[in-house]
Structure 1
Amino acid sequence: MSQTNDLYLNNPLIHRDRRLGASDSEWVRSFACEDLKPLIVCRGPIRKEALDVFGEMGMTHVGILLSEKDSIVYPNALSPELRQIKNPENVHRVPDYTGASKEERVERIGQIIQIAKDNGYDSIFAGYGFMAEDEEFVAAIENAGLTFIGPNSRTQADAGKKDEAKRTALQVGVSVTPGINNVTARTLVKKYNSRDKLLGLVKSHGLAVDTAVLNDKKLSLEDLADEILYASYEKGLDLYTIEELSAQVQYEVEQMFKEYPGSRIRLKAIGGGGGKGQRILGASLLTLKKATDAQIKEAASEAPTLVREVLNEVKANGVGDNKNVLVELNIEQTRHNEIQLLGNGEWCITMGGRDCSLQMHEQKLLEVSVTQEGLALAIAQAKKAGKKSEVAALESDLKVLKRMEEDAAKFGAAVGLDSASTFECIVDRDRYYFMEVNTRIQVEHRVSELCYSLKFTNPKDKNDYFIVESLVEAMALLARHKKRVPKPERIPRFGASVEARLNATDASLSPHAGGIIRYWSKPVEGEIRDDQGISMVNPDTGLFMRYRVAGAYDSNIALILTKGQDRLESYREMSRVLGSTSLRGTDLGTNLEFQYGLTNWFIGQNVMAKPTTRFVVPYLTMIGLLKEEAQKLDTVYAFLQMKKAYAKKVAEEFPDDPKQGKEISAILDRKGLLVTRPMDRLLEDPHLLSGWLSVNRKNFSIEKGKVVWHDNPFVILADTYRYLNMQWNPAFPAAEVIWEHDDELLQTGLRFYTTLSERLKLGLHEFDKLKVLLSKDKPQAGFSADEWSKIQSAHAGFEIGLELLGMLFVVAENTGFWELRVEEDLEVTIPDRLHEVDLQARMKKVLVPPPATKADEIVAVCGGMYYGQEAPGLPPFVSEGMHFEKGQPLYIIEVMKMFNTVRAPFSGTIDKIIIQSGDGSIVQKGQPLFKITPDEKFVEIDPEEINRSRREKTLAYLKAVI
């Protein structure tokens, strides 16, 4: 973790010594963990965090696994944490962390346990990746006499598998998402449709099923099938084929489409996590009032392909694997909330909630704390402001949060939780449904850490206690001392926190692997940057060390966290951090600008908003519309035409005084690049434009087709330079900051308006009042007539030419940008058009145009691992000479652990398959894959026609601002 030293300045609960063995209290010393010797078998930010925390706890024998994919397969992707490990003997190499198949996974488990035994480790920490939720892995560790720093195998079995977790939730009275959690049992019953046939199956395969179960005639066929299936997993047998399972899933999906018309269905592999192993189908039915049987069958026909995809992603397609897939109703207008849990097997506590609704591809992007204290403060603030609808919405959230925390603690106690876990829910207005439990620490766990510390008190002496601020520390404490650890009290720490995931993605949030980070600005004061150690400089030279973002693992580069006394302050801090971050490299794609724009969109709207899990794709579609419109403008041409308009106007007003025109022209020339440079930056990046428009949404109006400013455009221009991190800095390249002579003009103007506002007793942003005063002929605020005349002239000089900024508001107006908004009751209104699948697909291409290609080629849409068939043993998607239709699958790219099916953008014929290296080969973005003949000829647009169109559009925009 890279962060500033005064991160938690003046907080009495921070900076306590984690070495409990150094305490003056005998009771506290009894909970020391210095003798723990953990082997860390995960990667990414959590490995770096664990290394730091274990070191701070006084542990001296700590080791890590190092995948060859980190160090050999991908050059310059060497794990940055190695820079802080002094003893190379504590680094242990493995081919990869998980193995590509069930056999390799079993082999890796044995290898890890052997590494631990051979090298003196007594415990294993798996973080939030690798096999942290693998019951088999945890049981093997326990059987080997080692300690697993995480939930025990019994908890993993009862809570870690999604089907078992839903059954447990039902048993303890927790509401669950409607759906089917035993489709494998139904598959088996379909194949062996009587008790006798099922019992014959047990006998013929010699399955070890409890005799009491076999003799229980009251047991349903499906429950009996479940018991038989578990016995088959133990023996490594498949009692049904993937084709049979897929057919059963397809049938169940059809039935659910009929039962829940106008809904989509979600398929979830029971061992998924982090967005893996989940697919949604039925988008075509959403807009239909009543789907026909044929339409339902067509929508459900996707199921077999999606079943294979989810099983492939979680590597559950081997012989004897548990291939159960949950078939659930996808509750559309929902928020994704989760509750942090911690237990010791006897007690279980909650540490508030997190809203993780801002996500895409089932992977979270921005996570926000949700605590009872934070909601109570927001309610008080809304009441003071007279916002009745907001008060009602927040009070509803508070009630739901209290219920979720109560149920989460009840669930944790029921499964004997003895470490950290997360209780995940979907929230639909004033209701919530249990979704799953992650029996591991979450990527976003620090969001909860920033809101609460844990106080462990001696039962015999309330003045004898110690504070724990890290969930990783708490997990180690519980692993080492188990049920001796007393139930802690949670202590409020900061009012709110937010985490942005900095991912290797392009502007449309599609994975972008393979880039090299060559420079990363240092963390600013208050920033928490969990970056895997990438920002650690070379200890010998003090220089930044380049790092390749490899495509073998997930897309995360870093976790950026901020905190505040309330949510608005934490968001503003996040905006300041992201806006100050400079990240550069070769072929490097990140979502930095997306996160910055999104954060400011909420700041400009309302940070207490209730976006659903369906928000991000429509939001991106709107961003695409912004870009499409912005590309039609030419700021240089606009500026020149504005000069001509002013020259004409001055010539009409002063026909006998050419000096006036020359002075106006000189003033405008002085300002040209001062105005157009930040405008061009905003027009080039629609994510930045979105955030800028949102924070300035109340600073203008359009009246009779003209932009009217309600805040001083000169002050907004200065704010825009700050927003774009383009303030004057002699240490930065001139191309990245305001030019020095422009900054002198900007600062002169700011001093003028600051002084004038103070004299007039106005705020710097009270522009409407300032305009009224400056329009008066009579001097104001005690100025002399001569001074007042000069002030009016100076104001006119500073403002002239800034009209161009108003074109940005017209872009928003013309795209319907303001229609995507947060209402008074905190619900987010999304225009229907932004849900249109065709528009979403087109705007994705606007945000990230397809790789340049010849008319007779199809190239890789991104870098990753290429597969030409849906699964081993199945026929290839394409063959030479075949004709393909638009939307037909052509190949699969595995990137950042996700399997992406790439479909034909048009119809044509495969003339030649260029890629000959076969499945599992690495391809680069833009690499030719197939020679083709398209059905239709592509017609290139004349560049001069594009320029002519831009000039016409720009002139139309000018009419609204001058």
Structure 2
Amino acid sequence: MPVSRLLIANRGEIAMRIVRAAKSLGVHTIQAYSEADAEMLSVREADESICIGPAPAKDSYLNIDALLKAARETNADAVHPGYGFLSESPAFVRAVEDAGLTFVGPSADTIERMGDKVAARQAAEAAGVPVVPGSDGRVDGVDAALEVAETIGYPVMVKAAAGGGGRGIRVAQDSDELRKLAPQAAREAQAAFGDGGLYVERAILSPRHIEVQILGDGTRAVHCWERECSLQRRRQKVWEEAGASCLDQATRETLCQSAVALAKAVNYRGAGTLEYLYDDASGEFFFIEMNTRIQVEHPVTEMITGVDLVAEMIRVAGGEPLSMTQDDIARNGHAIEVRLNAEDPLMQFMPFPGKVDGLDWPEGDGIRVDHFLSDGYQIPPFYDSLIGKLIVHAPTRDEAIDKLAKALRSTRIGGVKTTIPLHLALARSPDVRAGRVHTQWLEPWLDAGNLTAEATGDPQ
């Protein structure tokens, strides 16, 4: 059944993005919101809205019973989870479907399988997708981890089998470090995800982070090319690009086809992303995990392909087949997205929730801003600090960086500190402009004092 009344079980800029995609399809939108988000832009922009509880996420956006109650009271027939919160919760998917509603995303079984990094790794190997050399499955204790490490060689990375976001990860240079760090990783994973399971893999030194956007309808799957997300702080992405300028065309094609093969192997439905490490030195790539949801950085893919990923998710969830074939999806130019967070980058990225006092957004061809702010809006302190994303598109990467810098200088979010100075400084960096970056590049660059008010040229 096509989706007709969609409950948006999320907040912030992704809620606004879902509202706009749904409205483009003629779908009635219902924004679920916490008491802290009553003035959020999507509450006004949606066709209707409903409060689901107090500010703490556990009482609102993570409260399955409250969300299902809201869906019943508003006669919703589908739920879109966005990203974060319950977007990758098999229990939520099952609860939604048990209530007779459509979940906009993959099946609970797919989320369960691909959300466990060990199971995802095994699925990738079965589909012929390269994986980082490591343990065949979860390791049972430190001795088993040491045995794997001796086989594959140091340094090794100990990783949580469940979850993501950089939690439960340690890098050991030798056996003594592994004995010490593996229990730490297990405790952190248990605290963060309720699952202390670990696996071990070879540490790829200074890799690039490359990911492939896929779409599937449960039968067919296509890719929408790749993104590079190597600029990361504390394993969190801050700047994303489409495509990855480090890849030659043959590697790009092989990488993207491997993503399609895995998506087909698990009968994937909806939008998803396969993440890889790419070794510049050898030209090898290795699958690391799959995100079974829409991602923060999806706009750069939309800018170079013209595909509305969120609308396609809604269509597919309603039972329609993919509206495109692989031949329909062409790459056009280069796109860059930077994350605008309510943080003070000149004060160790201290969170800076506050009241917005004036907004000026850049405009023009090839410029897009995804946000949920309005003048006078009080940014709440209860959630992630992401308040918006600035996306630019141009014929070449150099032109995209130039356009980004100009757009950043035209952006004003009054009353709060933001990460605009960080992005201005990055746009001026010779290494960034030359593409000489990797996943461990940004933090030493920050530690070296490259981010100063003078270096950014930013008036904030």
Same fold by TM (over 0.5)? yes
**Residues 500 and 561 in structure 1, CA contact (< 8 A), matched pair in contact too:** yes
Q: Quick one: distance in 2 between partners of 1:411 and 1:86?
A: 37
**Residues 335 and 426 in structure 1, CA contact (< 8 A), matched pair in contact too:** yes
Percent pairwise identity: 26
SS in 1 for 2:277: strand
**Mapping for residues 762-781 of structure 1, pairs under 5 Å:** none
Asked if residue 63 in structure 1 is aligned to residue 22 in structure 2, the reply is: no
Question: What is residue 609 of structure 1 aligned with on the other side?
Answer: 435
Question: What is residue 401 of structure 2 aligned with on the other side?
Answer: 571
**Residues 39 and 64 in structure 1, CA contact (< 8 A), matched pair in contact too:** yes
Question: What is residue 202 of structure 2 aligned with on the other side?
Answer: 329
Q: Quick one: distance in 2 between partners of 1:82 and 1:36?
A: 18
Question: What is residue 315 of structure 2 aligned with on the other side?
Answer: 477
The alpha carbon displacement at 1:518 in A equals 3.1
Q: 1:193-244: per-residue Cα shift (whole Å, max 9, x none)?
A: xxxxxxxxxxxxxxxxxxxxxxxxxxxxxxxxxxxxxxxxxxxxxxxxxxxx
Question: What is residue 153 of structure 1 aligned with on the other side?
Answer: 108
The alpha carbon displacement at 1:69 in A equals 5.0
Question: What is residue 38 of structure 1 aligned with on the other side?
Answer: 6
> For 2:75, which of 91, 101, 120 is the aligned residue?
120
Question: What is residue 277 of structure 1 aligned with on the other side?
Answer: 167
Higher relative contact order (CA 8 A, sep 6+): 2
**Residues 230 and 439 in structure 2, CA contact (< 8 A), matched pair in contact too:** yes
Question: What is residue 368 of structure 2 aligned with on the other side?
Answer: 528
Question: What is residue 309 of structure 1 aligned with on the other side?
Answer: 188
Question: What is residue 440 of structure 1 aligned with on the other side?
Answer: 293
**Residues 220 and 322 in structure 2, CA contact (< 8 A), matched pair in contact too:** no
Q: Quick one: distance in 1 between partners of 2:349 and 2:421?
A: 15
More helix by share: 1
The alpha carbon displacement at 1:333 in A equals 1.9
How many correspondences in the alignment? 456
Gaps in structure 2 of 5+ consecutive residues: none
Question: What is residue 51 of structure 2 aligned with on the other side?
Answer: 92
The alpha carbon displacement at 1:253 in A equals 4.4
The alpha carbon displacement at 1:53 in A equals 1.8
Q: 1:724-761: per-residue Cα shift (whole Å, max 9, x none)?
A: 56xxxxxxxxxx8xxxxxxxxxxxxxxxxxxxxxxxxx
Equivalent AA in structure 1 for residue 384 of structure 2: D
Q: Quick one: distance in 1 between partners of 2:158 and 2:417?
A: 30
Q: Quick one: distance in 1 between partners of 2:305 and 2:322?
A: 22
SS in 2 for 1:559: strand
Question: What is residue 402 of structure 1 aligned with on the other side?
Answer: 253
The alpha carbon displacement at 1:605 in A equals 4.9
The alpha carbon displacement at 1:152 in A equals 1.8
Q: Quick one: distance in 2 between partners of 1:398 and 1:97?
A: 47
Asked if residue 79 in structure 1 is aligned to residue 40 in structure 2, the reply is: yes
Q: Quick one: distance in 2 between partners of 1:366 and 1:523?
A: 18
> For 1:360, which of 233, 241, 245 is the aligned residue?
233
Asked if residue 505 in structure 1 is aligned to residue 335 in structure 2, the reply is: no
> For 2:242, which of 354, 363, 369 is the aligned residue?
369
Tell me the C-alpha RMSD between the 2 structures. 2.8
SS in 2 for 1:63: strand
Asked if residue 547 in structure 1 is aligned to residue 420 in structure 2, the reply is: no
SS in 1 for 2:433: coil
Question: What is residue 351 of structure 1 aligned with on the other side?
Answer: 224
Rate the CA distance shift 1:95–1:327 in 2: closer, same or farther, 3 A.
Answer: farther
Q: Quick one: distance in 1 between partners of 2:207 and 2:185?
A: 23
Equivalent AA in structure 1 for residue 95 of structure 2: A
Asked if residue 621 in structure 1 is aligned to residue 447 in structure 2, the reply is: yes
SS in 1 for 2:350: coil
The alpha carbon displacement at 1:256 in A equals 5.0
SS in 1 for 2:369: strand
SS in 1 for 2:409: helix
The alpha carbon displacement at 1:565 in A equals 0.7
Rate the CA distance shift 1:300–1:505 in 2: closer, same or farther, 3 A.
Answer: farther
Question: What is residue 15 of structure 2 aligned with on the other side?
Answer: 47
The alpha carbon displacement at 1:66 in A equals 1.5
**Residues 145 and 199 in structure 2, CA contact (< 8 A), matched pair in contact too:** no
Q: Quick one: distance in 1 between partners of 2:414 and 2:262?
A: 46
Q: Quick one: distance in 1 between partners of 2:168 and 2:355?
A: 31
More strand by share: 2
Equivalent AA in structure 2 for residue 525 of structure 1: E
**Mapping for residues 596-745 of structure 1, pairs under 5 Å:** 596-601=424-429, 604-605=430-431, 607-622=433-448, 624=449, 686=452, 688-689=454-455, 724=458
Q: Quick one: distance in 1 between partners of 2:335 and 2:239?
A: 11
| Greater alpha carbon shift after TM alignment, 509-518 vs 400-409 | 509-518
The alpha carbon displacement at 1:111 in A equals 3.4
**Mapping for residues 886-925 of structure 1, pairs under 5 Å:** none
Moved over 6 A (4+): none
Question: Is the radius of gyration larger for structure 1 or structure 2?
Answer: 1
The alpha carbon displacement at 1:110 in A equals 3.4
SS in 1 for 2:58: coil
SS in 1 for 2:157: strand
**Residues 274 and 291 in structure 2, CA contact (< 8 A), matched pair in contact too:** yes
Q: 1:396-453: per-residue Cα shift (whole Å, max 9, x none)?
A: 5322211111110111111111211001100012100001111101100011000113
Q: Quick one: distance in 2 between partners of 1:298 and 1:420?
A: 39
Question: What is residue 556 of structure 1 aligned with on the other side?
Answer: 386
Gaps in structure 1 of 5+ consecutive residues: 1-30, 72-77, 188-247, 286-290, 317-321, 376-393, 454-468, 537-543, 627-684, 692-722, 726-735, 737-962
**Residues 343 and 349 in structure 1, CA contact (< 8 A), matched pair in contact too:** yes
SS in 2 for 1:481: coil
Asked if residue 515 in structure 1 is aligned to residue 353 in structure 2, the reply is: yes
Equivalent AA in structure 1 for residue 317 of structure 2: A
Rate the CA distance shift 1:254–1:590 in 2: closer, same or farther, 3 A.
Answer: farther
Equivalent AA in structure 2 for residue 445 of structure 1: H
**Residues 135 and 148 in structure 2, CA contact (< 8 A), matched pair in contact too:** no
Equivalent AA in structure 2 for residue 561 of structure 1: I
The alpha carbon displacement at 1:252 in A equals 4.2
> TM-score, normalised on structure 1?
0.45
SS in 2 for 1:597: helix
SS in 1 for 2:351: coil
**Residues 596 and 688 in structure 1, CA contact (< 8 A), matched pair in contact too:** no
Q: Quick one: distance in 2 between partners of 1:329 and 1:504?
A: 36
**Residues 98 and 131 in structure 1, CA contact (< 8 A), matched pair in contact too:** no
